Structure 1
Amino acid sequence: MYPARLQALIDALRALPGVGRKSAQRMAFQLLEHDRQAARTLAQSLEAALESLRRCVDCRMFSDADRCPICRSQRRDRSVMCVVESPADLVAVEQGAEYSGLYFVLHGRLSPLDGVGPEEVGLPRLAERLAEDSLQEVIIATGSTVEGEATAHYVGELARAAGVSVTRIAQGVPMGGELEYVDAGTLSHAFRGRQTL
Structure 2
Amino acid sequence: MRNPVNRVLLGLTGLALIALGGTALAAGLGASVPSWWLFSGRDDVLLSAAERTRWRDEGWWWPAVVASLAVVAVLGLWWLLVQLRGKRLGTVRVGDPESSVLLRGRALERVLGEEVESVPGVDRATVSLMGRQDAPRARITLTLTPSSTPSGVLTEVTESALTRAGTSIGTPRLPALVRLRAHGRTHRVR
TM range (shorter): under 0.3
Query: Max radius of gyration: which structure?
Result: 2
Q: Larger % of strand: which?
A: 2
TM-score, normalised to structure 1's length?
0.21
TM-score, normalised to structure 2's length?
0.21
